[in-house]
Amino acid sequence: MTEPSRLSRRALLPVLAGSLSFAFDAHAQGARPFPQWVEQFRPRAVGRGVSDATFTRVMSGLKPDASVFAAIRNQPEFKEKIWQYLNRRVSDWRIQTGKEKLKEHGALLARIEKDTGVSRMILLALWGIESAYGDPDVQKSAMRPVFPSLAALAWGEPRRRAYWEQELINALRIVERGWSTPAEMRGSWAGAMGHTQWMPEVWLNVGMDYDGDGRVSPFGKPDDALASTAHYLVNRGKYRRGEHWGYEVTAGNQRGGDASKSYGAWQKAGVSRADGRAFPVPSATAKLWVPMPGGPAFLLGPNFYAVRSYNPSMNYTLSIVHLADVLDGAALVAPKFPGGERPPTLAEIQEIQRRLTAMGFDTKGADGRVGAGTMQAISDFQRKTGMEQDGYAGVRLLARLREAR
């Protein structure tokens, strides 16, 4: 689940491998040699319910993953405009695959919605953005064993060390309970795992055995992951049954802010739904948000902020609720932003990848998925041709590549 706010949601991006010098730097700043630190950490873990046998099984001979020190200091490589951010996440692939997953897991999602009140479309969208619907290629290429990562952070990262130490203990307690094994526990460099990217604390304290197999797991069947995530949104986000997250609106001269008014009051002030429909519950309250001057505006209800509890980024939250709406038949919003364009189709992204690779900018494959390799290849092409280096795979870039041929 949610990583610390500054670290959040890099779980699906392959991280550049760091050099061991970061570990030595950490040692130079006062960290004890790792094997010594492990043994000194043992009593703390045992005191928190981890058996000596489990601690030895997991930590004995463990080597810290030193690349986490590079990852924690090198967060996004590219600065995205909001419409680019949305297009990368509300992509043609996620829309197509989401509709397929809705057919495949519709009964499960409907049951979770009935049990928790959380919209099945919100859960589906969150699943898609967090792990590409549990895509095995993402798990294989972007995930790593979490114990070497968490142990390295607990040992050598001075910022939020207590947090990393606690998450390492939480991960050890998961093994102690028999819910998982060190080999199965693969995730982001910060320890987020599974279909909906749980941190160990969430797995341990919020996870539920929804499929009744005797253990709680974010891996394998999505039952536990999706139901537990809904449980998280209700209990920690205060999600309200039966309420929509909010709406795209035409705001006129109204500006965003912290004022919360009823939809009826907003309508009297000249704010109306962009699709022309009426607000179904005029007495419900919302705040007006205008992310970008000249772009679309949104009325945000309490359930928007419930979803935001999963990650404090407004753009991240908008991408989830917007993907949920698009999967339910709504129109795309990104082209409405100044300078915005529609998201490229899967075939168009594959064409971008093939053309870049043929020109000597290797995208590491042409699968129609935009990962770090594709973004770097685009950036290199943009630098060589004098374009703005944003690493964005879009329809204007494709037109430029076709001209370059």
List pLDDT tens digits, range 357-367. 999 999 999 98
Q: Which of 157, 177, 237 is nearest to 54 (CA)?
A: 177
C-alpha to C-alpha distance for 392 and 370, rounded to whole angstroms: 9
State residue 137's pLDDT score: 80
pLDDT at 210: 98
Stretch 66-80: mean pLDDT, rounded?
A: 75
pLDDT at 14: 32
Under a CB-based contact definition with an 8 Å cutoff, are residues 352 and 391 in contact?
no
- Identify the CA nearest to 323 among candidates 22, 58, 99, 67: 99
Considering the four listed CATH numbers 1.10.10.10, 2.40.10.220, 1.10.8.350, 3.30.1330.10, the one that applies to the domain covering 5-75+140-216 is 1.10.8.350
With 50 as the cut, is the pLDDT of residue 18 above it?
Answer: no
Q: What is the average pLDDT score of the chain? A: 91
Is residue 26 pLDDT above 80, yes or no? no
- The kind and range of the H/E element at 298 are strand 297-300
Q: Provide the H-helix boundaries in 60-119.
A: 67-73, 82-89, 92-116
pLDDT at 23: 42
Tell me the pLDDT tens digit for each residue of 281-332. Answer: 999 999 999 999 999 999 999 999 999 999 999 999 999 999 999 999 999 9
Average confidence (pLDDT) over 230-238: 98
Alpha-carbon torsion angle 77, 135, 351, 329, nearest 10: -100
- What number of other Cβ atoms are within 10 A of residue 339's Cβ? 12
| Portions of the chain given CATH number 1.10.8.350 | 5-75+140-216
pLDDT of residue 29: 39
Average pLDDT over residues 94-105: 97
Confidence tier at 16 by pLDDT (50, 70, 90)? very low
CA distance 227 to 324: 17
If pLDDT is split at 50, 70 and 90, which confidence band does 75 have?
low
How confident is the model over 250-278, as pLDDT tens digits?
A: 998 888 888 999 999 999 999 999 999 99
Structure tokens at 254: 């109204």
Question: pLDDT at position 1, please?
Answer: 53
Q: How confident is the model at residue 5 (pLDDT cuts 50, 70, 90)?
A: very low
Amino acid making up residue 107? A
The SS3 assignment for 390 reads coil
| pLDDT given at position 24 | 43
What is the distance in angstroms between the CA of the first residue and the CA of the last residue of the chain? 44
pLDDT given for residue 45 in this prediction: 98
Over residues 159-183, mean pLDDT: 96
pLDDT of residue 165 exceeding 60, the answer is yes
Distance of CA 49 to the CA centre of its chain: 30
Average pLDDT over residues 186-198: 96
141 confidence band (pLDDT: 50, 70, 90): confident
Pick the closest to residue 158 from 13, 14, 16, 32 (CA basis): 32
CB 124 within 8 A of CB 326: no
Question: Which pLDDT band, with edges at 50, 70 and 90, does 146 fall under?
Answer: very high
> How many helical (H) and strand (E) elements, i.e. helices and strands, does the chain have?
18, 7
Whether the CB-CB separation of 228 and 206 falls below 8 Å is answered with yes
292 close to 318: Cβ distance less than 8 angstroms = no
State the span(s) of the chain assigned CATH 1.10.101.10: 346-404
Instruction: Give the residue from 153, 122, 145, 128 showing the smallest Cα distance to 193.
Output: 145
Query: From start to end of 171-214, where are the E strands?
Result: 186-187
Structural tokens at position 28: 């130079």
pLDDT band at residue 142, thresholds of 50, 70 and 90? Answer: confident
In this predicted structure, the answer to whether residue 155 has a pLDDT above a threshold of 70 is: yes
pLDDT band of residue 70 (cuts 50, 70, 90) is confident
* Superfamily in which the 346-404 domain is placed by CATH: PGBD-like superfamily/PGBD (1.10.101.10)
Residue 305 exposed, middle or buried by CB count within 10 Å (0-12, 13-18, 19+): middle
Compute the half-sphere exposure of residue 98: CA atoms within 13 Å on the CB side of its CA: 29
Between CA 377 and CA 366 the distance in angstroms is 12
**What's the pLDDT score for residue 71?**
82
